[in-house]
């Protein structure tokens, strides 16, 4: 009998990652399409459905091979009906994603937050393998988070569990955040936040730095340039990274003190900095963590990269849909 597939989908602000995945978590085919945010994101479900059909045709497969779809989207998700509360980057508000996608694809659909499915993916097949209690933080344009306790994602009372990026990190005079608050962790630990801190540092001290050369030439910086300069011993860049590590270490230690996790998995584009981020982060984390909590936890870099979300989406669909079958 032919092995069935699950469709894993991870909706991002610029691309939608998709894959056909076995119930064991092996990716058979993966691809991505552009996120069509025109017309308040109304075309997104149609483009997902069309892309699945096209891929099945190319692979000479029928829809009977598919069990269903597990999908991650930005913003709080209503677990009852799979609708999205608000996804600013996509233009969605009270958007019935599950209902529309089921109609467009004629397949059962399970929806969760994008950071939650990345956390599930890392738990199932990635850096968190074997851990049933873990915190996953994705450091990208923003800061996302997924918290897993006893193998289950913490959704909270109305779908906003795991909003690690919106823990208050700079209580006074912090930078404004897209969420409407100020001083959120996202304003200092995201790629955007790191660049902002570096530019502020360049403006406040007259110090020779590779970053100053980049900035004066390009009138812009990237988080990667900050990390690269830090790993080459640039003093100013290292000060910025230590600032980031301090805020991240404090926030994660406070969370860990409440949850006592086995692993903290750091993912997203910023995590590509590897040890340049991990070494100062561990240094800052330990003094804030309850000693027994610090002994029990391992802080690791995510291993699944861009595939974390689609694999987590597949796990979600497998758990819900195959159990029903």
Residues 199 and 91 in one domain: no
Same domain, 138 and 20: no
Query: 63 with 156, same domain?
Result: no
Distance (Å, rounded) from C-alpha 251 to C-alpha 137?
Answer: 11
| pLDDT of amino acid 325 | 54
- Within-domain flag for 125: no
Tokens of 302: 């995510």
Q: Are residues 45 and 90 in the same domain?
A: yes
Q: Are residues 139 and 237 in the same domain?
A: yes
* Contact by Cβ (8 Å): 137, 143: yes
What pLDDT does 324 receive?
61
What confidence score (pLDDT) does residue 302 get? 95
Half-sphere exposure of 310 (CA within 13 A, CB side): 24
- The pLDDT value given to residue 88: 79
Query: Distance between CA 163 and CA 145 in Å, rounded?
Result: 6
Regarding whether 276 and 225 lie in a shared domain, the answer is: yes
- Whether 180 and 224 map to the same domain: the answer is yes
Within a domain: residue 89?
A: yes
Q: Same domain for 55 and 9? A: yes
* CATH code: domain of residue 108: 3.30.420.40
DSSP assignment of 204-273 equals H-----HHHHHHHHHS---HHHHHHHHHTT-HHHHHHHHHHHHHHHHHHHHHHHHH--SEEEEESGGGGG
Which parts of the chain have pLDDT scores under 70?
324-325
In the chain, the number of structural domains is: 2
Query: Whole-angstrom Cα distance, residue 99 to residue 74?
Result: 17
Q: Count other Cβ atoms within 10 Å, centred on residue 28.
A: 12
| Residues ≥6 apart with Cβ < 8 Å to 59 | 20, 29
CB atoms within 10 A of CB 54: 12
Handedness of CA 161, 163, 167, 173 (dihedral sign): negative
Whether residue 13 is found in the same domain as residue 44? yes
Bin 183: left if φ > 0, else alpha if -120 < ψ < 50, else beta.
Answer: left
Are 92 and 144 in a shared domain? no
One domain for residues 58 and 99: yes
Residue 294 CA to its chain's centroid (Å): 24
Residues 58 and 145 grouped into a single domain: no
Enclosing domain of residue 12? 5-120+306-324
Query: Cα(first)–Cα(last) distance of the chain, in Å?
Result: 17
């Amino acid at each position: 009998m032919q092995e069935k597939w699950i469709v894993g989908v991870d909706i991002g602000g610029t691309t939608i990652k998709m894959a056909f995945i076995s119930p064991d978590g092996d990716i058979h085919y993966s691809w991505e399409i552009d996120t069509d945010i025109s017309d308040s994101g109304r075309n997104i479900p149609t483009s997902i459905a069309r892309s699945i059909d096209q891929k099945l045709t190319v692979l000479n497969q029928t829809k009977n091979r598919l069990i269903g779809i597990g999908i991650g989207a930005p913003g709080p998700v209503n677990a009852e009906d799979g609708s999205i509360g608000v996804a600013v980057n996509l233009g969605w508000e009270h958007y019935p994603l599950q209902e529309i996608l089921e109609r467009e694809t004629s397949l059962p659909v399970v929806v969760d937050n994008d950071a939650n499915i990345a956390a599930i993916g890392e738990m199932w097949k990635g850096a968190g393998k074997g851990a049933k209690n873990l915190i996953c933080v994705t450091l990208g344009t923003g800061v996302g988070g997924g918290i897993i306790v006893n193998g289950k994602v913490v959704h909270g009372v109305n779908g906003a569990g795991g909003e690690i990026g919106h823990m208050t990190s700079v209580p006074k005079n912090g930078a404004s955040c897209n969420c409407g608050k100020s001083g959120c962790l996202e304003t200092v630990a995201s790629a955007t936040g790191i660049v902002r801190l570096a530019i502020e540092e360049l403006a406040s001290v007259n110090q020779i730095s590779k970053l100053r050369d980049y900035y004066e030439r390009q009138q812009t910086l990237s988080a990667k340039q900050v990390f690269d300069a830090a790993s080459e011993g640039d003093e100013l860049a290292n000060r910025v990274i230590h600032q980031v590590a301090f805020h991240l270490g404090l926030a994660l230690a406070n969370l860990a003190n409440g949850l006592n996790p086995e692993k903290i998995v750091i993912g997203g584009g910023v995590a590509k900095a590897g040890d340049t981020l991990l070494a100062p982060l561990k240094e800052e984390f330990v003094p804030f963590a309850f000693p027994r909590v610090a002994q029990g936890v391992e802080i690791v870099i995510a291993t699944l990269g861009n595939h974390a979300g689609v694999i987590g989406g597949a796990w979600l669909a497998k758990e819900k849909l195959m159990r029903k079958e």
